[in-house]
A = this chain, B = another copy of it.
Amino acid sequence: MAELIKKYKRLLSQNNYKLTPQRNDILKVLIENKETHFSADRLYKEVQKINPDIGLATIYRNLEIFSELNIVHKLEFESDYKHYELVDMDKEHHHHLICLNCNKILEFSDEDLEKFEKRLEKEYSFLTIDHHIKFYGYCNECHINSQEG
Contact = CB atoms under 8 A, between A and B. Distances in A.
Contacts of A116: 112-113, 116
A133 B132 contact: yes
Contacts of A138: 126-127, 129
A14 interface: no
Contacts of A137: 126-130
A137 B137 CA distance: 27
Contacts of A78: 76
B125 A136 contact: no
Given A97-B120, A113-B116, A125 B140 contact: yes
A124 B106 contact: yes
A137 B147 CA distance: 42
A100 B129 contact: yes
A139 to B, nearest CB: 6
A136 B129 CA distance: 6
Interface in A68-105: 76, 78, 97, 99-100
